[in-house]
Amino acid sequence: MKNPFESLIIPGGILLLGFLSALLLPAPNFGLTMARSLTQRLHLQDINQLYTLIFCVWFLLLGAAEFYVIRFIYRRWFRS
């Protein structure tokens, strides 16, 4: 039987691992010309908005990847 809180645990785990990866792994850093071109292409007001979006997406992707890797390892080797 599945845990009834699994629908809450999975997104919470992804967010928690995303926040932890913020402490461990640096986000991508673009050059000034590339950042300006992305800002114009995405119709953003300034480079700060671009980096806010980049950081949010980067850490959520890292958190999701870490969550699924840890879940795979747990289910493969530690589950009885």
> What pTM was computed for the model?
0.66
For residue range 7-65, what is the model confidence (pLDDT) as tens digits? 788 888 878 877 777 777 777 788 999 999 999 999 999 999 999 999 888 888 888 88
Residue 72 half-sphere exposure toward CB, CA atoms < 13 A: 6
Contact between 14 and 63 (Cβ < 8 Å)? yes
Burial of 47 (0-12, 13-18, 19+ CB in 10 A): middle
The DSSP secondary-structure symbol of 43 reads T
pLDDT of residue 80: 58
Q: How far apart are CA 53 and CA 31, in angstroms?
A: 16
Annotated domain spans of the chain = 16-78
